[in-house]
Amino acid sequence: MLFHVRMDVHLPRDLDPTVRAGLVARERERAIELQKAGVWPELWRIVGQYANISIFDVESNDQLHEILSSLPLFPYMTIEVTPLARHPSKV
């Protein structure tokens, strides 16, 4: 199952810089792990925002929820999920 996922990150301005750096580093590690596993095949930054557009290729809604909630920055994200279907004109 393919999903288009927009993630907007809202870190508190007063977050300790050391905590912030640790969260961002762990987020990067988790994202790389999921990309290597093949469930996060596309990851695009939205210019000028702390946000991204991603494509996830997972077995179920539940698996997607587990993946998203496993992200270290999940508590600071607004996430919009759109299920995708193949277009009949796609070659």
pLDDT band at 25 (very low <50, low <70, confident <90, very high): very high
pLDDT band at 53 (very low <50, low <70, confident <90, very high): very high
The reported pLDDT for the residue numbered 68 is 98
Range of the structural domain that residue 6 is part of:
2-84
Instruction: Please list, in sequence order, all residues whose beta carbon lies within 8 angstroms of the beta carbon of residue 55, skipping any fewer than 6 positions away.
Output: 2, 3, 4, 5, 40, 41, 42, 84
90 lies in some domain = no
Which CATH number goes with the domain that contains 63? Answer: 3.30.70.1060
How much is the pTM? Answer: 0.92
29 lies in some domain = yes
Share of the chain above pLDDT 90, in %: 98
Question: How many structural domains is the chain composed of?
Answer: 1
How far apart are the C-alpha atoms of 29 and 42, rounded to whole Å?
A: 16
